[in-house]
Amino acid sequence: MAMLEIKNLQVYYGMIHAIKDVSFEVNEGEVIALIGANGAGKTTILHTVTGLIAAKGGEVLYEGVDLQKIAPHKIVSQGIAHVPEGRHVFSQLTVYENLLMGAYTRKDKSEVEESLENVYKRFPRLKERQRQYAGTLSGGEQQMLAMGRALMSKPKIVLMDEPSMGLSPILVEEIFDIIQSISKSGTTVLLVEQNAKKALGIADRAYVLETGKIVLSGDAKKLMDDESVKKAYLGE
What is the CATH number for 228?
3.40.50.300
pLDDT digits (tens, 9 = 90+) for 28-54: 999 999 999 888 999 999 999 999 999
**Domain match, 70 and 8 both:** yes
What mean pLDDT do residues 210-220 have? Answer: 96
Answer yes or no: is 176 within a domain. no
Domain ends where: 154, 177, 212?
A: 154
Domain ends where: 154, 180, 197?
A: 154
pLDDT digits (tens, 9 = 90+) for 94-133: 999 999 999 988 888 899 999 999 999 999 999 999 999 9
What mean pLDDT do residues 171-182 have? Answer: 94
**Domain match, 161 and 52 both:** yes
**Domain match, 55 and 11 both:** yes
Domain span at 11: 1-77+157-166+189-236
Answer yes or no: is 62 within a domain. yes
Domain ends where: 154, 175, 199?
A: 154
**Domain match, 208 and 220 both:** yes
Distance separating alpha carbons of residues 46 and 78, to the nearest angstrom: 15
**Domain match, 16 and 53 both:** yes
3-state DSSP assignment of residue 13: strand
**Domain match, 5 and 25 both:** yes
**Domain match, 162 and 46 both:** yes
Q: Is the pLDDT of residue 186 over 80?
A: yes
Answer yes or no: is 233 within a domain. yes
Q: Is the pLDDT of residue 236 over 70?
A: no
Look over the chain and give the mean of its residue pLDDT values, rounded to a whole number: 94
Give me the number of domains the chain comprises.
Answer: 2
**Domain match, 161 and 124 both:** no
What mean pLDDT do residues 143-161 have? Answer: 95
- Taking phi over 0 as left and psi of -120 to 50 as alpha, with beta for the rest, 165 belongs to beta
- Determine whether 101 is exposed, middle or buried from the number of CB atoms within 10 Å of its CB (0-12, 13-18, 19+): middle
